[in-house]
Structure 1
Amino acid sequence: MTLDTRIFVLGKVEPHEVFRFCRDLLGAADRHAFSDRQDTTWREGESFVEPGNPWTISNNPGQGLPAWLMLYYRPDEPLRTPEQAAEHDMDCNLPESGDYVEEWGPCDGERHRRACWLTVSFDTAYGYRDERGYGCGDLHAEYIAKLGQWLDERRVRWEWMNEFTGEVHTGYSRLIDLASGGFEASAWFRTSVLPVIQAETGGTR
């Protein structure tokens, strides 16, 4: 099982620049391969690329990096407009298991995908532990905070989703819900993130 944390970048930004920054967060080097290709559509047992399909930049899995990095985008346009996010699709009225339940009822929009310019995904095994004592939640909290600060410097709005709860948050104050303790105890958190959280919450946590 893995923790898949999503960051929704709401403002316009160059996708490949975001991807390079995130690769640096992971400690990726030139030897760590990645792909950048348009997504395929599967229909009636066949796969093909349609002109309107989004693109995915992704580190190749199994290279020993702390997270599998994926970035979803469309060249020179939003990944998903508010109008597109409001549309129903074949999966939006299904429970998290993906199994159809007739009693689930009509879709109320809660399960629709987010409107955003692009989406970043960090995916790490639940059993992850590094030399700092960070678990997967601590690691992802650090990645969110560092990417968030990078986006803030460029005045680009962003949100992130806690996969444990399914809740979407803005800012840094709820990162503590994701972390297990190592991130919160680190000197970097106390000097770089905690002051921002205190400003967001009026000095309380």
Structure 2
Amino acid sequence: MTLDTRIFVLDKVDPHEVFRFCRDLLGAKDSHTFTDKQDSTYAGGEWAVRPDNPWTVSNDPGQGLPAWLMLYYRPDAPLRTPEQAAEHDEDCNLPDNDTYVAEWGTCDGTHHRRACWLTVSFDTAYGYSDERGYGCGDLHAEYVSRLGQWLDEGGVRWEWENEFTGEVHTGYSRLVELASGGFEASAWFRTTVLPAIAAEMGGAS
């Protein structure tokens, strides 16, 4: 089992610049390979690349990095517009699916995929641990905060999703719910994240 933490970048950015920054977070070197290609869709009994399919740039798995990095985007276009995000898909509970509607209710759009310019995914095994005492949640909390601050410096809006709860958050204050303790005990948290949380709280008051 793995923890998949996603960051939704809301404003226009260069996806390859974001990918390079995230590779640096993981400590990736030139020897760590990656792929960048348009996604294929299964339809009519075969896989095919269609003009409207999104793209994925991702590190190849199994290279010893602390997380599998994937970034989903479209060249010079949002990954998903607000109008596209509002549309129901095959995963939605709709009135013509009586079994699921009876159990879960009709889809109200709350759990639709997010409207965003691109999505970054960090995927790490639940059993991850490192010499700092970080587990997978601590590691991802650090990645989210470092990427978030880099985006903040460029005036780019972002959100992140806690896979443990399914909730989407803005800013840093809820990162402690993702971490298991190592992150909160680190110097990085005390000197960088706590001031960012304090700034958020001050802005909200």
For normalisation by structure 2, the TM-score amounts to 0.94
Alignment gaps of 5+ in structure 2: none
- Partners of 1:202 and 1:73 in 2: how far apart? 34
Residue 173 of structure 1 corresponds to: 173
Question: Which amino acid is the alignment partner of residue 201 of structure 1?
Answer: M
Alignment of 1:48-197 (within 5 A): 48-93=48-93, 101-103=100-102, 104-197=104-197
1:80, CA displacement in angstroms? 0.3
Residue 28 in 1 paired to residue 23 in 2? no
Aligned pairs, number: 198
Per-residue deviation at 1:93? 2.4
How far did residue 201 of structure 1 move? Answer: 1.9
User: 2:42 aligns to what SS in structure 1?
Assistant: strand
What one-letter code is carried by the residue in structure 1 that aligns with 2:136? C
Percent identity over the alignment?
80
Residue in 1 aligned with 2:44? Answer: 44
Contact 1:144 1:160 in 2 (8 A): yes
Verify the 8 A CA contact 1:93 1:111 in the aligned structure 2. Answer: no
Tell me the TM-score normalized by structure 1: 0.94
Structure-1 separation of matches of 2:22 and 2:161: 17
**1:71, 1:200 → 2: CA distance?**
27
Q: Deviations over 1:33-57 (max 9, x none)?
A: 1000000000133100000000000
Structure 1: gaps (5+ residues): 95-99
User: For 1:164-196, what per-residue CA distance to the aligned partner results, in whole angstroms no more than 9, with x for missing partners?
Assistant: 000000000000000011111111111111111
| Larger helix percent | 2
The aligned amino acid for 1:196 is A
Q: Cα deviation per residue 1:109-129 (whole Å; 9 max; x = unaligned)?
A: 012100000000000000000
Root mean square deviation, CA, Å: 1.4
Question: Take 1:188 and 1:5, find their aligned partners in 2: how far apart are those partners?
Answer: 19
What is the distance in 2 between the residues matched to 1:16 and 1:106? 38
